Amino acid sequence: MKVLQFPLARITIGFVFGLLFAKFMISPIEVVFIIIGFSFLSFFALYFYTKSKSSVYFGIVTYFLAFLIGISNAIIHTDYFQKNNYIHNKNIFEEPHNISVTIKEKLKKSAFSDRYIVILNHIDKKKQTGKLILNISKDNIDRNLIIGTNLLIRGILTKNKPANNPNQFNYSKYLENKQIYAQLYAEPNQIKIGSEIKKDIWYYSSLLRSRIIKNLEKNHFNKTEMHVAVALIMGQQQEISPDIIRDYQYAGAVHILSVSGLHIGFILIFLTFLLKPIPNTRRGSFIKLIVIISSLSLFGIIAGLAPSVVRSVTMFSFVAIGIHLRRSVNIYHTLLVSVLLILLVEPSFLFDVGFQLSYIALFFIMWLQPLLASIWSPKTKFSKYTWDILTVSFAAQIGTLPLSIYYFHQFPGLFFISNLIIIPMLSIIMVLGVLVMVLAAFNIIPVFISQLLEWSIYYLNKIVNIIASFEQFIITDIPLHSYLFVCSYLLLLTVIIWFKKPSFNKLVYVMFSIIILQISYFTIRWNVHKEKELVIFNSNKNTLIAERNGDNIIIIANDNLLKSVDRNTILNSYSLGNHSKIVEKTKLQNFIFFSGKKIYVLDSTVIYPEDIAADILLLTQSTQVNLDRVLQVMQPKMVIADGSNYKNFRIKWKKSCAKNNIPFHATAEKGYYILK
């Protein structure tokens, strides 16, 4: 691959590996910076005393230095390593404090609360730093708290909990990647709203968005279409209904709801068209450059500086600079510079799914699309336009396929039809949308333009809904182990390299990749086949147990839950993650035997044997039993309370277990329990 021959490519790869190392291999900070110091000395020594800057030793030191800079950059930008970060103050997780915060971002509301990302200022007047999720319980009063509002809250911080059940989406890890380590739950009467507003870039960005949305509402813009328009143009998806998001997912078009390179590309083309009357003199070209970069930056700020927006704005700004300098812009260099620049400023973006999908899609469009386009040479402009859209869509979809399946476990079979119809419509909607948003900012929206945008989005939603209705073309529940994920990309890259310029050596690499993929698959299957475990899930108001022997799962539950096993998301995630299938359903009994251990299920009947000891006592259905007496009689080695119990019962049982020196595990607090 010629891309890897660029020194910048190898430096960027070394830097990215440094970020990954810092994420997964925690090293002492002092050691890291000592090694960096020695590396800098080695680098400068080789730079001044080596005659050839292309020598092997100079290259190795350079790439190793990039790797170490990646590690140090991650450490510097990670809030966890800051001494004033709240995560190091254990006391705030145990008792209530006066917590001062500033609202930074508004999140999608939940069924019971309004949610915000807030910046911590003080705890009991002591300076503390870090980001939190603030959950304010809903009441009858509509509190539209604006960005920049200072709040004083009396409450206790709650650390993010890991996933309650195996193979489920790990929201705790997701928040940790965003450097949010805790949440704060508050009732409205526990909050004092400050009189001062912090007026920073986030405040003015939110203020402008609110003004635009308010003027659209005054213009009687339909809410459903307006929420989609706000997502398409300003990257704000908080108010889009779950049904519409699901339709876009099933149609393979959910990417257009997140502002990315496609949207920024349309805006750059539109700006270039508007600035065409300005002459291409040195001064005129400079004016165009300033206008384009300023407009793209303003758009990025309005869109909330999401990772995909930052990436796209940065990359297309470099494209605009290249055009201004009248040089042929090497798109790979542009891509690499934007990656390096973004990750230097915000290394946590590397672990953002949208950021990963955007860059991989863009790379494969640049690398694979010319190969696909060369398969056929259309004769007419229309057929060429259609063929270009298809090849771009296929290149992006092929490149992101392993990553999409790894994260979302599904594949939309009609993605090419969606893109063929939606991309031409999107170009029109983007032009209309930007125009309407700009006019809405000044409260001068012509009715016919507003209605034209509304109708366009209405028909876009209808088309997406029709495509999504063909559910037989949507392949779901596709398991992909991390080993298979890596091997899939290895095979994909070697196949494309071979297709670009076939040779025997490259074919050998392809065969080698296939062998590695097969070995990985059979290794995973072998590991699954020899595993045996029993899992007590955290199922709300229910007792749900699975016994897995290899790839066969036996479900143990009550009759009402057994009827809906096929639709149970907990079990779907578990079977998918373990490459297994449900082969039997069994009604819950009081005794369960597994691997030589006796598990007694104590339910609301409050019946338990007085002459049989149990290894594990499972408490269910908020059983009203004298637990101290049960513990003395049955003498269990472990007590588990599943999700069918009330909180006050769990608290009481925990105290009883502590008094009797018996381990206690509540699935509502610690998540599922697994026995092997």
pLDDT at 246: 86
- 552-581 pLDDT tens trace: 999 999 888 888 888 888 999 899 888 899
How large is the average pLDDT for residues 173-196?
A: 88
How large is the average pLDDT for residues 479-500?
A: 91
pLDDT at 167: 87
Reported residue count of the chain is 676
How large is the average pLDDT for residues 426-431?
A: 84
pLDDT at 196: 83
Is the dihedral angle over the CA atoms 104, 106, 111, 112 positive or is it negative?
Answer: positive
Report d(CA 209, CA 236) in Å as an integer: 9
- CA 606 to chain centroid: 45
pLDDT at 329: 56
What residue segments make up the domains of the chain, in order of their start?
A: 2-77, 86-198, 352-412, 482-529, 532-675
pLDDT greater than 80 at residue 271: yes
Residue 52's pLDDT band (cuts 50, 70, 90): low
pLDDT at 422: 83
33-48 b/e (C-beta count within 10 Å ≥ 16 → b): eebbeebeebeeebee
pLDDT greater than 80 at residue 305: no
The answer to whether residues 184 and 99 touch, using CB atoms and an 8 Å cutoff, is yes
Name the token pair of 345. 């400023």
- At a CB cut-off of 8 Å and minimum separation 6, what does 268 contact? 292, 296, 316, 319, 320
Residue 595's pLDDT band (cuts 50, 70, 90): confident
Residue 606, SS3 per DSSP: coil
Which CATH superfamily includes the segment(s) 532-675? Answer: Ribonuclease Z/Hydroxyacylglutathione hydrolase-like (3.60.15.10)
- 412-427 pLDDT tens trace: 888 878 878 888 888 8
Would you give the end-to-end CA distance of the chain in angstroms? 46
Residue 4's pLDDT band (cuts 50, 70, 90): low
pLDDT greater than 60 at residue 1: no
pLDDT greater than 70 at residue 327: no
Report d(CA 673, CA 617) in Å as an integer: 12
Average pLDDT over the chain reads 85
Report d(CA 30, CA 103) in Å as an integer: 34
- 613-631 pLDDT tens trace: 889 999 999 989 899 898 9
Give the CATH class of 86-198. mainly beta
User: Long-range contacts of range 589-596, CB-CB < 8 Å, 24 or more positions apart?
Assistant: 589/556, 592/534, 592/545, 592/556, 592/618, 594/534, 594/547, 594/675, 595/532, 595/534, 595/675, 595/676
Residue 485's pLDDT band (cuts 50, 70, 90): very high
Report d(CA 614, CA 630) in Å as an integer: 11
pLDDT at 517: 93
Helices (DSSP H) in 563-645: which residue ranges?
569-577, 627-634
| Residue found under tokens 């009248």 | 326
pLDDT greater than 70 at residue 47: no
Q: Which range among 207-211, 462-466, 671-675 shows the weakest confidence by mean pLDDT?
A: 207-211
pLDDT at 653: 94
Residue 546's pLDDT band (cuts 50, 70, 90): very high
How large is the average pLDDT for residues 156-176?
A: 87
pLDDT at 298: 81
Residue 174's pLDDT band (cuts 50, 70, 90): confident
- 640-649 pLDDT tens trace: 999 999 999 9
Pairing assessment for the beta strands 581-587 and 552-557 based on DSSP bridges:
parallel
How large is the average pLDDT for residues 277-295?
A: 85
How large is the average pLDDT for residues 345-359?
A: 85
- 74-98 pLDDT tens trace: 888 888 888 888 988 888 887 888 9
How large is the average pLDDT for residues 325-350?
A: 78
Compute the CA torsion angle 7, 8, 11, 17 (nearest 10 deg).
Answer: -120
pTM > 0.85: yes or no: no
pLDDT greater than 80 at residue 306: no
pLDDT at 519: 94
